Amino acid sequence: MVTIKDIARESGYSISTVSRVLNNRSDVSPDAKRKIEEVVTRFHFVPNNNAKQLKQNNSRTIGVLVKGISNMLFANIVEELHRMIERTAYTLNISYLDEDADEVEQAILLCRERKPIGLLFLGGNPEYFKKGFAGVGVPCVMVSNRANELGFSNLSSVATDDVAAAQCAVDALFEAGHRKIGILGGDPEKSYTSLQRFRGCERSFAAHGAAMDAGLCYEKAHFSFESAYRAMERLLTRYDGLTAVFAMSDVMAIGAIRALRDRGLSVPEHISVIGFDGTSLAEYYNPKLATIRQSYQTLAARSIEILFGQIELKKEAIHEIVPFEFASGESIRIIK
Amino acid sequence: MVTIKDIARESGYSISTVSRVLNNRSDVSPDAKRKIEEVVTRFHFVPNNNAKQLKQNNSRTIGVLVKGISNMLFANIVEELHRMIERTAYTLNISYLDEDADEVEQAILLCRERKPIGLLFLGGNPEYFKKGFAGVGVPCVMVSNRANELGFSNLSSVATDDVAAAQCAVDALFEAGHRKIGILGGDPEKSYTSLQRFRGCERSFAAHGAAMDAGLCYEKAHFSFESAYRAMERLLTRYDGLTAVFAMSDVMAIGAIRALRDRGLSVPEHISVIGFDGTSLAEYYNPKLATIRQSYQTLAARSIEILFGQIELKKEAIHEIVPFEFASGESIRIIK
DNA sequence: TTGTAGGCGTTATCAA
DNA sequence: TTGATAACGCCTACAA
C-alpha cells in the first residue's frame, strides 16, 4: 500500500509538504505542487480515509436512517440523496431499520461508531426522540415528519402535512360519493406518520358528517405489498358493503388491489382505492393509482440543504412543510 | 469523547486489558472483564472505528457496487444483503453507479478509500474488468453476471444463465403463437447482461425458424419506467403488426405496458408482454406480469457466502449458476 | 493475567 | 516555503 511517506520519499519533499499539496493549501510553491502531484498520479496514491478521519475526528459522512425497507418514497429519496451527494466530498452512510425499531438508539450508536457530521431520519417516532434524542450531538433533519413540537435545537424537519394530506385523500373518496370507506395504515401507536394520517382521516369523516369507527374501518399493516394484501383480506371479511379504501402508501394500495382482484373485485368498478406518496409506481400501475403526491425531489433537496445550513452555516433548526398534490389517477369511481 | 483511556483510568486497569475485554479475548480474568464491562456500559463507550480500522488496516466493510439505480432486482438483493449482514460484525458500503459507468474504476477508488475486505458487483461489464480488474486486490463476487471466462483468481460469480433465461422468455411468446415479437433491452455494447439476453433471443428466434431483425424488433432503453415507456413508443411506431414484447426487466415491462395503454392497447388482449427478474412488482402488477423469476434471496445469500468463503476460508473463486423459473402471470395471450 | 511501548497514516503545530 | 515531530484512538508484540 502506497502511503504519504512513499510520495514524500519519491518526490524528495517532506511528508508535511505532501500533505499540504493533498489538501491544496496555499503555502506551497507551484514547483513543489507540480512535482508532488505528478508522483501522486503516477503512484495512484489515494489518502487513507481512516487515518485522516482519526486525526480530524470528523468524517464527511452523513448518516441516513431509513425506517421501513419497503417504503418506496424513502427509496426514492435515498436515490435522490445519492445523486445529489455523489459529486461532493461527502459520503452517505445508510442504515435500514425495521419500521418499529428505535431509530434514536441506532442514531446514537451510529454517531459513536462513524462520527457523521449530520443525520437524516427518514421516518421517525417522536416518542423515541423525546426519550433519547438529547444524546445525539450532531445536527439532524427529520424527513417526512414534523419535529417542531419536539423543540430540539439541533433537529430540523422537512415534512408533508400528513393530517391535511390524508384528509385530502379521504375527502376525494367522500366527494366521489363513497361512505363506507376502509383504511389501511400503520400502527398509530408506533408510527407517528400513521397517527397523523389517521387524524386526517378522522377530520375528513367528521367534515362529511360520518362517524369513523376505527374498529370497523381501520386495518393495520406494515408498509409492504404482502402485509397490505393480508390486511385488505381481513378488512374485506369484516366490513360489509365497503366501497372504497384509503391506503397510507402506494405500496400498500397496490398490495390491497391485488387482494381485491384475487377475490374477483376490480378497481375502481367494485372498490375505489387511493394511495399515498405519489411514487412513480402509482403512475405506472394499472389502473393508474389515485394518490397524494409528495415531491421526493423537494424532500431530498431541502433536507440536505437544511442539514448543510445547520452544519456549516451554524443556522438554527427550522421546520419546513413541503406542499403535496392530489393525483387523480384512475382508481376512484364516482358513485351515485 | 470517551476513549479507551478513560475506561482504563476509571476501571483501574490498563489500556491493553480494556482492549482485550472489548475484543473479548480469553486471556482476561473474569473479574477484570466484569469490572471493565461495567465501566464501558456506564460511560456508553463505543470504540472509535477509524482508529480501529487504521490499526488493523481492514475494515469489516463489504463494498457493494450497484449498477443502475432503478433496477428493482438489485434493490431487492441489496435489501436482502442488509438483512443478512445487519446482525453480524460487518457493514455494507453501497455505491450506486450509473448503468454505463465504469464499475472497476470505482471499485479501485473504493478499495483505497475504504479498505473493504471484499466487494460485490451488482451488474458489471466484462470489458471494464478485462481492462482494470487486475488493480483490485480484494476478493470479489460478480452478482447476476457470469465471470468464469475472465479468469481472475479473486473474482467469483453468482449468476442466472441469461442466455437460457431470455430464450425461455421468448420461447414462451412463440409458444403462445406470437411471431412478431419486439424486444426492449439495454445497449448490448455497453451492458453485458443485455448482450447475453440478446443472444438468448436470437436462439429462440432461430429455434422457431424466425429471422430476428434487430433493426426492426430491438429497441434500446435504460432499466427504468420512463426510458422503457419511450422505447415502447418508438417500437410501436416502427413495428407494424407487433403482437408481443419481451422486456429485459420487470420495470421495463411495466413502463412498456403503460405506453401501450396510453395508446389504447391493452395487455394481453392486444399485445402480450413478458418481463424479466421476477420482482414482487411483477406479481402485484395488473395484469400479473409473466416474467423470468431470478431468486434474489438465493443470489444475495450465495454471493455473501461465496465472498466469505474467499475471504475467511481462502477458498478459490467459484462460478455458480442460480436456477431461474418461468412465472406465467396474466400478460401473455395465446393466439391462433 | 496484566502492563508497557510502538506504530497504523494522517494532520497540525512550531520552528527553521 | 519547508520540515520535524507530536498527536488522533486503538491494537498487539513482548515483557513482567
On the question of pLDDT at A98 being above 90, the answer is no
Helix axis angle, B225-238 to B250-262, nearest 10°: 50
Q: How high is the pLDDT of residue A332?
A: 97
| Architecture label for domain A51-161+296-323 | 3-Layer(aba) Sandwich (3.40)
Q: Is the confidence at residue A328, as pLDDT, over 90?
A: yes
- Sign of the Cα pseudo-torsion (A263, A268, A270, A275, in order): positive
Q: What is the mean pLDDT of residues A123-138?
A: 89
pLDDT at B166: 97
A109 or B198, which is more confident:
B198
Structure confidence at residue A96 as a pLDDT band (50, 70, 90): confident
* pLDDT tens digit sequence for B225-242: 999 999 999 999 999 999
Q: Are strands B118-122 and B140-143 parallel, antiparallel or unpaired?
A: parallel
Secondary structure of residue A310 in the 3-state scheme: helix
Q: Interface of chain A against chain B, CB under 8 Å?
A: 1, 44, 46-51, 53-54, 57, 59, 69, 75, 79, 82-83, 86, 94, 96, 108-109, 112-115, 135, 225-226, 254-255, 257-258, 261, 280-281, 283-287
Among candidates A71, A85, A126, A125, which has minimal Cα distance to A251?
A: A71
Residue A215: partners with Cβ closer than 8 Å, 6 or more residues away:
none
Whose grid coordinates read 403488426? B241
- Pairs of residues, one from chain A and one from chain B, whose beta carbons lie less than 8 Å apart: 86
What pLDDT score was predicted for residue B265? 95
Query: What positions of strand C are covered by protein, i.e. any atom < 7 Å from a CB?
Result: 1-5, 7-13
Is B94 in Cβ contact with A225 (below 8 Å)? Answer: no
Q: What is the dihedral of CA A180, A186, A192, A197, to 10 degrees?
A: -20
Q: Which pairs with CB-CB distance under 8 Å and at least 24 residues apart come from A124-132?
A: A124/A65, A124/A67, A124/A192, A125/A190, A125/A191, A125/A192, A126/A150, A126/A192, A127/A192, A128/A102, A128/A103, A128/A104, A129/A104, A129/A155, A131/A104, A132/A102, A132/A104, A132/A105, A132/A108
d(CA B165, CA B197): 7
Cis link prior to B287 (omega < 30° from 0)? Answer: yes
Q: How many CB atoms lie within 10 A of CB B35?
A: 17
Confidence of residue A72 (pLDDT cuts 50, 70, 90): confident
Average pLDDT over chain A, rounded to whole? Answer: 91
SS3 B190: coil
User: Distance from residue A329 (CA) to nucleotide C10 (C1'), in Å?
Assistant: 56
Chain D nucleotides with an atom closer than 7 Å to a protein C-beta = 1-5, 7-13
pLDDT over 80 at A250, yes or no: yes
* Residue position matching grid coordinates 370497523: A216
Q: What percent of chain A has pLDDT over 90?
A: 63
Asked whether the predicted pLDDT for residue A69 surpasses 80, the reply is: no
What does the pLDDT read at residue A23?
87
Query: Among partner residues B96, B113, B258, which is closest to A284 by beta-carbon distance?
Result: B258
- Give the list of residues 6+ apart from residue B103 with CB closer than 8 angstroms, or none: B65, B67, B97, B121, B123, B124, B125, B128
Q: Which nucleotide is nearest to A54 (CA to C1')?
A: D8
The confidence score (pLDDT) of residue B17 equals 92
- Cell 459529486 belongs to A87
| pLDDT greater than 80 at residue A112 | no
Which residues of chain B are under the pLDDT cut of 70?
none
pLDDT band at A205 (very low <50, low <70, confident <90, very high): very high
Q: CA quadruple A126, A131, A134, A137: dihedral positive or negative?
A: negative
- A4-42 and A162-294 share one fold: no
Residue A92 has pLDDT above 90, yes or no: no
Q: How confident is the model at residue B154, as a pLDDT? A: 92
* From A137-141, A322-326, B81-85, B299-303, the region with the lowest mean pLDDT: B81-85
pLDDT at A129 over 80: yes
> Do B286 and B125 contact (CB within 8 A), yes or no?
no
Q: Which of A313, A299, A320 is nearest to A156 (CA)?
A: A320
**Domain locations along chain A:** 4-42, 51-161+296-323, 162-294
Q: Specify the fold of B4-42.
A: 434 Repressor (Amino-terminal Domain) (1.10.260)
pTM of the shown model: 0.82
CATH code matching the domain that covers B162-294, chosen among 3.40.50.880, 3.90.226.10, 3.30.930.10, 3.40.50.2300: 3.40.50.2300
- Give pLDDT, residue A99: 80
